[in-house]
Amino acid sequence: MFAGGGTAGHISPALAIAKALKLKEPDAEVLFVGTRRGMEVDFVPQAGFKLEVTDVRGLERDKPWRIPYVLATLALSCYQSYRMIRDFKPDVVIGTGAYVSLPVVGMARFMGVPTFIYEPDALPGIANRLLGRVADRVGITHESCRRYFSASKVIVTGNPIRPEFFSMTKSQARERMGVGQREKLILVFGGSHGAERINEATIAALPILKGCKDIRILHSVGRRNYQNVAKQLEAVGVEEGSGYTAKPYLYDMAEAMLSADLVVCRAGATTLAEIAACGIPAILVPWPGATANHQEHNARSLEKDGAAKVILNKDLNGPILAKRILELIDDENCLKEMSEKSRALGHREATDRILQVAEELIEVRKRPR
């Protein structure tokens, strides 16, 4: 049983583990638990897995008067989680963060089911900090995260990557995407919900970039931003065509990333892990609203290692983005060097490590006492 949701950053690691499990054990039964409001409602069924939902709500720190309501939904979700665990009878429960994991993993531990939580960021969220006290094992990616959990529970796993990121070569992905041999594909996206600042800067950069015939831009703008982007394109006098394509969302992100020569995106942990696994040079624009500014910390780490360039959100605009893109695209040696350094940071074995830990927890539970 997997618990996690809200954004792709919490769902993607769980899907990566679940898909790897099904490849290894085709008869394994898998159940995801999420909410009705998160992106898991789309992602999980599309990946071929069953999803059940709870009524838990997250705490909005700027609305303290809603605390009683949040606590009431947490109590209800604990009961719902109890019934799901009782009926599904999981061998292990894996939490990948967000508030939905709190009642599910917590109730599993109360019922004696082995539990594992995974924390992708350098600074763990509230749910995982609380669950770290009761979970049997804690998987982390960043060493700096270790101090927030009991040393005896922590295992450095790296960020699990979905199997499709390793299912094809770059040339195969580009052929499927219809990308020409000489074309430089720039992939732009802003996280699972899109990013207005990145969208605006990209549209503003198009008049500067459109004179470069070998540049092709694939832009995932976010479903809620799609209509607004269409108006912005009209305002700058740029039409969608062979050089620029806007999509509400890219479901096959693996194919798009593997095809790309350069990405422009936020700096969430899962995104950076996928970038590193593919070995793609990146222009990172950290989301300033991330807890404790952990996205800038993530981005600076890649920049320090020579795998990325960073533009702060407050500094981002069309001319600056266009200049940075052209500087990189016109320098083949720089792109190659960044690609090699990016790939060196990838943790391709992370999913196997997590499955191994899960199997060990199951075996321990089976031993006679």
pLDDT at 269 over 90: no
pLDDT at 64 over 70: yes
Q: Are 147 and 153 within 8 A, CB to CB?
A: no
The predicted structure's pLDDT at residue 263 = 97
pLDDT at 369 over 70: no
Q: Are 73 and 55 within 8 A, CB to CB?
A: yes
Q: Compute the distance between CA of residue 84 and CA of residue 261 in angstroms, rounded to an integer.
A: 44
Mean pLDDT of the chain: 90
The predicted structure's pLDDT at residue 236 = 80
Give mean pLDDT, residues 247-262.
Answer: 91
Query: Based on the domain organization, do 109 and 27 belong to the same domain?
Result: yes
Digit-coded pLDDT (tens) for 177-218: 999 888 999 999 987 677 899 999 999 999 999 878 789 999
Q: Are 30 and 49 within 8 A, CB to CB?
A: yes
Q: Are 94 and 358 within 8 A, CB to CB?
A: yes
Query: Based on the domain organization, do 16 and 85 belong to the same domain?
Result: yes
Query: Based on the domain organization, do 133 and 258 belong to the same domain?
Result: no
Listed range (55-64, 172-181, 201-210, 281-290) with the worst mean pLDDT: 55-64
Query: Based on the domain organization, do 249 and 339 belong to the same domain?
Result: yes
What CATH number corresponds to the domain at position 253? 3.40.50.2000
The predicted structure's pLDDT at residue 192 = 66
Residues 6+ apart with CB under 8 A from 288: 295, 296, 312, 313, 314
- Report the percentage of the chain scoring pLDDT > 90: 59
pLDDT at 21 over 60: yes
How far is CA 18 from each of CA 2, 3, 11, 175, 221, rounded to the nearest angstrom? 8, 12, 11, 28, 27
Query: Based on the domain organization, do 105 and 156 belong to the same domain?
Result: yes
Q: Compute the distance between CA of residue 89 and CA of residue 124 in angstroms, rounded to an integer.
A: 28
Range of the domain at 195: 164-344
Which residue in 254, 292, 291 sits closest to 270, CA to CA?
A: 254
Q: Tokens 């899907």 sit at which residue? A: 15
Under the banding of pLDDT at 50, 70 and 90, the label for residue 235 is confident
Query: Based on the domain organization, do 83 and 211 belong to the same domain?
Result: no
| Higher-confidence position of 291 and 56 | 56
Query: Based on the domain organization, do 125 and 216 belong to the same domain?
Result: no
Query: Based on the domain organization, do 188 and 334 belong to the same domain?
Result: yes
Q: What pTM, to 2 d.p., does this model score?
A: 0.79
Q: Compute the distance between CA of residue 322 and CA of residue 242 in angstroms, rounded to an integer.
A: 18
Query: Based on the domain organization, do 181 and 323 belong to the same domain?
Result: yes
pLDDT at 278 over 80: yes
Query: Based on the domain organization, do 132 and 241 belong to the same domain?
Result: no
Under the banding of pLDDT at 50, 70 and 90, the label for residue 92 is very high
Radius of gyration, CA atoms only, the chain: 21
Digit-coded pLDDT (tens) for 287-343: 998 777 888 988 998 999 999 999 999 999 999 999 999 999 989 999 999 999 998
Digit-coded pLDDT (tens) for 218-230: 999 888 888 888 8
The predicted structure's pLDDT at residue 211 = 74
Listed range (16-30, 39-53, 159-173, 329-343) with the worst mean pLDDT: 159-173
Under the banding of pLDDT at 50, 70 and 90, the label for residue 243 is confident
Give mean pLDDT, residues 64-79.
Answer: 89
Listed range (161-170, 175-184, 274-283) with the worst mean pLDDT: 161-170
Residues 6+ apart with CB under 8 A from 45: 51
Residues 6+ apart with CB under 8 A from 274: 12, 161, 162, 165, 253, 254, 257
Query: Based on the domain organization, do 60 and 125 belong to the same domain?
Result: yes
Digit-coded pLDDT (tens) for 95-127: 998 889 999 999 999 999 999 999 987 778 889
Q: Compute the distance between CA of residue 82 and CA of residue 6 in angstroms, rounded to an integer.
A: 21
- Report the percentage of the chain scoring pLDDT > 70: 98
Query: Based on the domain organization, do 216 and 327 belong to the same domain?
Result: yes
The structural domain count of the chain equals 2
Q: Which amino acid is at 205?
A: A
pLDDT at 368 over 70: no
